[in-house]
């Protein structure tokens, strides 16, 4: 899927999803840390009738996996957010729409039946963020995923090289590249959605790609602090998940704020390069707050084995980002479904070969520690 997505999606957008910040060490470590974790093989146990069904903040899920919020998903494939949301809905797992999506909250709500989750950035313009929460409420979103680790944008060298800057500075090579991406171009020609749908038309004077990008970049709020979570709670009365916790002390503070879950995450290695791989801090965070709050995990998952590793380490459930983005870029909705089927199968077989029949009963006894 990754190879096919790379062939089909314009380099500028493929690279946007598939790179990290600065030297990309944390981006690479996220995957490597999971790979290092060895599993305990157990034999001669009856592993008939296996189940990987679980729950996430009270919602039943076909497996402990949700689709993570990913900015500009609609540039990997036309209408990408709608297609991914539909694939998740049919599979029975949650979809999270990014504030920085191409399709708007309303677009996704119109094309799905199951309530999805909405990821919020607290912007300098608090009125705008408040309005986003009202729109998410009106669209029946059942949970808000509040991202805490992007008060300023990590420097992504590859985006700058590709001209994906604010404002965008596309190079002539972008046009040459497009000539080799007919599948992507053809699909893009069929849709009108090519801008930040949650922002476009909702902010005065922000009406083209350049002003959109510039406004957006100026809006990430460096003053965001723990009191911002209290502010969000005043405007959002449904489930609340805090994303971007990569430190035990932060996890303890977050767990004391009366939210429903935290997501151990370093933003896929896109923010603080040099930060610990999410998996390397997961166990300590689970030990510190796992009895008080659901601990979710994001960062480096590329297979069902990785989902198993994270759940066995103590994560209640996981998120995939790039893994489904590859499927989307490669084959649209069918590609996302295919990725979910692969992960489900890998998770089921891995669990069985570790001697377990129920994902909710797995734990550190399944890991070589």
Residue ranges that bind ligand HOC, judged by CB under 6 A? 71, 98, 100, 153, 166, 213, 216-217, 267, 270
Minimum Å distance from CB 90 to ligand HOC? Answer: 25
332 is in an annotated binding site: no
337 is in an annotated binding site: no
Using CB positions, name the residue nearest to ligand HOC.
71
The pair of structure tokens assigned to 364 is 């550190």
Distance CA 316, CA 261 (A): 9
Q: Which long-range contacts (CB under 8 A, 24 or more apart) does 337-344 make?
A: 337/87, 337/90, 337/91, 338/1, 339/1, 340/65, 340/87, 340/88, 340/91, 340/93, 342/303, 342/304, 343/63, 343/65, 343/303, 343/304, 343/307, 344/52, 344/62, 344/63, 344/91, 344/304
Question: Considering only CA atoms, which of 314, 266, 284 is closest in space to residue 28?
Answer: 266
298 is in an annotated binding site: yes
**Which residue number, 213 or 331, has a Cβ lying nearer to ligand HOC?**
213
Minimum Å distance from CB 98 to ligand HOC? Answer: 6
Minimum Å distance from CB 66 to ligand HOC? Answer: 15
Q: Are 84 and 108 in contact (CB under 8 A)?
A: no
Minimum Å distance from CB 300 to ligand HOC? Answer: 15
**Which residue number, 219 or 228, has a Cβ lying nearer to ligand HOC?**
219
69 is in an annotated binding site: yes
**Which residue number, 62 or 153, has a Cβ lying nearer to ligand HOC?**
153
Catalytic site positions: 267
**Which residue number, 72 or 340, has a Cβ lying nearer to ligand HOC?**
72
Q: How far apart, in Å, are the Cα atoms of 152 and each of 26, 40, 122, 223, 315?
A: 17, 41, 12, 10, 28
**Which residue number, 165 or 187, has a Cβ lying nearer to ligand HOC?**
165
* Cis peptide bond prior to 294, omega within 30° of 0: no
Q: Are 143 and 117 in contact (CB under 8 A)?
A: yes
Distance CA 44, CA 216 (A): 57
300 is in an annotated binding site: yes
Distance CA 131, CA 232 (A): 11
Q: What are phi and psi of 265, to 5 degrees?
A: -165, 145
Minimum Å distance from CB 214 to ligand HOC? Answer: 9
147 is in an annotated binding site: yes
Annotated binding-site residues for FMN read 69-71, 98, 119, 147, 243, 265, 298-302, 321-322
Give the residue ranges of the annotated binding site: 16, 69-71, 98, 119, 121, 147, 156, 243, 265, 267, 270, 298-302, 321-322
Point out the annotated binding site for glyoxylate. Answer: 16, 121, 156, 267, 270
């Amino acid at each position: 899927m990754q190879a096919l997505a790379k062939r089909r999606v314009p380099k500028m957008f493929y690279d946007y999803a598939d790179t990290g910040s600065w030297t990309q060490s944390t981006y690479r470590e996220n995957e490597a840390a999971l790979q290092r974790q060895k599993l305990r093989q157990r034999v001669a146990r009856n592993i008939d009738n296996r189940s990987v069904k679980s729950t996430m903040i009270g919602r039943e899920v076909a497996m402990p996996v949700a689709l993570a919020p990913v900015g500009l998903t609609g540039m990997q494939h036309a209408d990408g957010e709608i297609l991914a949301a539909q694939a998740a809905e049919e599979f029975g797992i949650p979809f999270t729409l990014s504030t920085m999506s191409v399709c708007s909250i309303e677009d996704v709500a119109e094309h799905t039946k199951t309530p999805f989750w909405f990821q919020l950035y607290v912007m300098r313009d608090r009125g705008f963020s408040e309005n986003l929460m009202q729109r998410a409420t009106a669209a029946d979103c059942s949970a808000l995923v509040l991202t805490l680790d992007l008060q300023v944008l990590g420097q992504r060298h590859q985006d700058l090289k590709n001209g994906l800057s604010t404002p965008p500075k596309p190079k002539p090579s972008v046009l040459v590249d497009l000539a080799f991406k007919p599948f992507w171009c053809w699909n893009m020609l069929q849709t009108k959605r090519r801008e930040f749908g949650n922002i476009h038309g909702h902010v005065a004077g922000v009406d083209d790609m350049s002003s959109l990008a510039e406004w957006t970049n100026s809006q990430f709020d460096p003053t965001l602090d723990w009191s911002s979570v209290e502010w969000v709670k005043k405007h959002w009365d449904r489930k609340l998940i805090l994303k971007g916790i990569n430190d035990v002390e932060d996890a303890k503070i977050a767990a004391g704020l009366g939210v429903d879950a935290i997501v151990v995450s370093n933003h896929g290695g896109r923010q603080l390069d040099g930060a610990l791989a999410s998996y390397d801090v997961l166990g300590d965070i689970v030990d510190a707050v796992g009895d008080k709050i659901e601990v979710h995990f994001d960062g480096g998952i590329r297979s069902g084995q990785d989902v198993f590793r994270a759940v066995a380490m103590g994560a209640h459930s996981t998120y995939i980002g790039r893994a489904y983005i590859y499927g989307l870029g490669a084959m649209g909705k069918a590609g996302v479904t295919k990725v979910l089927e692969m992960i489900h199968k890998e998770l089921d077989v891995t669990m069985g070969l570790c001697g377990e029949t129920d994902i909710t009963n797995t734990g550190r006894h399944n890991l070589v520690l």
